[in-house]
Amino acid sequence: MDETQSTVLSILQDLTGEDVSSNMDTNLFDEGILDSMGSVQLLLELQNQLGIEVPVSEFERSEWDTPAKIVAKVESMQ
């Protein structure tokens, strides 16, 4: 597991109380793990910990709905 993935999973666990590392394709919204408020908190933590800036206006839920997609998105922005 690389550093980015580890950090993203840690942020998700801190925000949701769920360890999603065993299923990187879990739809966080469909499963009720993440909601719109959680999304904003996720973006803030990604900015704080990884320096990734994603304007909420550019947040496409379908591009951020699984841990694997979040990691890929973050890596593409680094």
pLDDT tens for the chain, residues 1 to 78: 799 999 999 999 999 999 999 999 999 999 999 999 999 999 999 999 999 998 878 889 999 999 999 999 999 998
d(CA 70, CA 52): 12
Delimit the domains of the chain by residue range.
Answer: 3-76
Superfamily of domain 3-76: ACP-like (1.10.1200.10)
- Prediction pTM value: 0.92
Asked whether the beta carbons of 70 and 64 are under 8 A apart, the reply is yes
- Three-state SS string over the chain comes to CCHHHHHHHHHHHHHHCCCCCCCCCCCCCCCCCCCHHHHHHHHHHHHHHHCCCCCHHHCCHHHCCCHHHHHHHHHHHC
d(CA 19, CA 12): 8
